[in-house]
Amino acid sequence: MSTLNEHIVSSFEDELTNLNKSISEMGGMVEQAITESANALLRLDHQKAQDVRQFDRKIDEMQQRINDAAVSIIARRQPMAADLRMVVTAIQVANDLERTGDMAKQLAKRALQIETLGLAPKFYNGVKHMTELVARQLKMALDAYLARDSKAAVEVCNRDDEVDALHTSLFRELLTYMMEDPRNITQCTHLLFCAKSLERVGDHATNIAEAAYYLETGLHLAAEAQQRSPR
Amino acid sequence: MSATLEAARSADPKSSPPAMSGNKVSVFYGAKQALFEVDLDIERHQVTSLIGPSGCGKSTFLRSLNRMNDTIEGCRVEGKITLDGQDIYDRSIDVVELRARVGMVFQKPNPFPKSIYENVAYGPRIHGLSRNKAELDDIVTSSIRRAGLWNEVKDRLNEPGTGLSGGQQQRLCIARAIATQPEVLLMDEPCSALDPIATAIVEELIDELRENFTIVIVTHSMQQAARVSQKTAFFHLGKLIEEGKTEDIFTNPKNKQTQDYITGRIG
């Protein structure tokens, strides 16, 4: 069932293709937002941080457009089977992307708050590493979704443990800095919140990967995993 | 649309044996084979929908379930179809009695050119299901009630059935079909000649009727199959391609041909 024939009604085919394109476009926007906001944070770039906050409005609009398109397809075409899954997951994925965009906005906000404080590289190395990891997760999840690749989707889900582990170790690390010198507390607390936001991005990437799995197979990944390895 | 798949709410697992069962059913019209070795169980108190493009054999299969095909010249049925385990093509079977047990509702409402009362009373009378007028009245009233038509016709039972609206006529035909207390009700596109409101009323009725009857419906409307049935069977070029829980067929069909058909793609 990998390759589908074209719809008899070509305008329906176009609408589905456009929906997919919109998801791809929105995904690109959100990936960019995450990278830029992390850069703004690490380089304490005021302008970039402002830009990300502005950009979030565009991401929100995009989500609205995707939702409207999906609702319109459901109302007028009554999609079935793979088409139905495509439309439903588009709504889900757009929602996760919008939330991810919010996380980028949070990071940008933090950047504006700590720009006066100045950061030592040893403090933000962990956050930097974590940003790279979740950005990769997000990209892989989106690729899996757009390519309808359930195997790649499973891989993304399995890798979420890495993000969680990194988050935990970062938490400990920042705690140590705070104990070393109470003057670090303000910066490290900000960074802790950033780490939390990034961890959430990882969760949204997992959600998108789960949607990708459902899109291709019609099955729920969590339930599948449980069946395969009953602990 | 939200309630679409909810229709499968009580698709209960096979607790009782199927009401009807087709085993390697092949149907020929003269030299032309219209149906190829179809195996399909019709579960009790469920609505089974048969879908597929025109000429796929779904109506042929439906008609073979109460031997309507017998009336077509040169039609031959091979394989075995059972009703409660009994072979319906066995010589000992009285076809008239079989059709009382397996009733049918057609695409176009076709009430007899008689009064509303007589339309419904006809079946029970010829099958001797009532001993007197009072009993017959009871059967007619309850059948019309079950068909959800009572309030609309109670004051005009002696008027001709053909004077009703299309939707009402179809419900009258359903009342007529259930008056003989059939076990199975076959419906061949029962809503294709009705407007959306009348269609919704008939669909609601189908859902209520399955409490007492087993229903098999042929429909060209995918949405209708998704709405009313618990089990769906997809036919293509005389073959049964896929059957399963309606919910599964419409969200995640296993077969590519099924997928292509229900999503409106060229197969």
- What CATH number is associated with residue A80? 1.20.58.220
| Alpha-carbon gap: B239 to the closest alpha carbon of chain A (Å) | 20
Q: Determine, for residues A218 and B251 on separate chains, whether the beta-carbon distance falls below 8 Å.
A: yes
**Helix or strand holding residue A145 (H, E):** helix A121-147
- Asked if B263 lies within 8 A of A74 by C-beta distance, the reply is no
- pLDDT, tens digit (0-9, with 9 covering 90-100), for B26-84: 999 999 999 999 999 999 999 999 999 998 999 999 999 999 988 899 999 999 999 99
- Compute chain B's Rg from CA coordinates: 18
Q: B127, exposed or middle or buried, with CB in 10 Å at 0-12, 13-18, 19+?
A: middle
If you search the block for the tokens 């199959």, which residue do you land on?
B225
* pLDDT exceeds 90 at position B265: no
Residue A157 sits in which domain range? 2-228
Is B1 in Cβ contact with A6 (below 8 Å)? no
Residue written as token pair 């989106």: A142
**How many domains, in total, are found in chain A?**
1
Alpha-helical runs (H) found in chain B: 58-64, 95-101, 116-126, 133-146, 150-153, 166-178, 196-209, 222-228, 246-251, 256-262
In order of B7, B8, B224, B226, B259, the CA distances from B3 in angstroms are 7, 10, 12, 10, 21
Chain centroid, CA B202 distance in Å: 12
Write down the pLDDT at residue B4: 39
What are chain B's domains?
A: 3-110+184-262 (3.40.50.300)
Which residues 186-245 of B are in CB contact (within 8 Å) with A?
222-223, 226
Q: Side chain identity at A134, as an amino acid letter?
A: V
| Structural contact between residues A151 and A216, judged by C-beta atoms closer than 8 angstroms | no
Q: CA of B263 to nearest chain A CA: how many angstroms apart?
A: 5
Chain A positions touching chain B (beta carbons under 8 Å): 1, 4-9, 12, 74, 78-85, 217-219
Whether B86 has a pLDDT exceeding 70, the answer reads yes
Residue B12: pLDDT above 80? Answer: no
Tokens of A223: 């339930």
Sheet holding B102-105, edge to edge: B102-105, B184-188, B214-218, B47-51, B231-236, B239-245
* Nearest partner of A22 among A126, A206, A113, A145, judged by Cα: A145
How far apart are alpha carbons B50 and B45 in whole angstroms? Answer: 16
pTM of the model: 0.82
Rounded distance between C-alpha atoms, residue B138 and residue B132, angstroms: 10
Contacts of A150 in chain B (CB under 8 A): none
> Digits of tens for pLDDT over chain A (231 positions)?
446 788 888 899 999 999 999 999 999 999 999 999 988 888 888 899 999 999 999 999 999 999 999 999 999 999 999 999 999 999 999 999 999 999 999 999 988 888 777 677 777 888 999 999 999 999 999 999 999 999 999 999 999 999 999 999 999 999 999 999 998 898 899 999 999 999 999 999 999 999 999 999 999 988 777 676 654
CA distance A31 to chain B (A): 31
- Residue where the block lists tokens 């618990």: B230
List of chain A residues whose C-beta atoms are within 8 Å of the C-beta of residue B259: 1, 4, 81-82
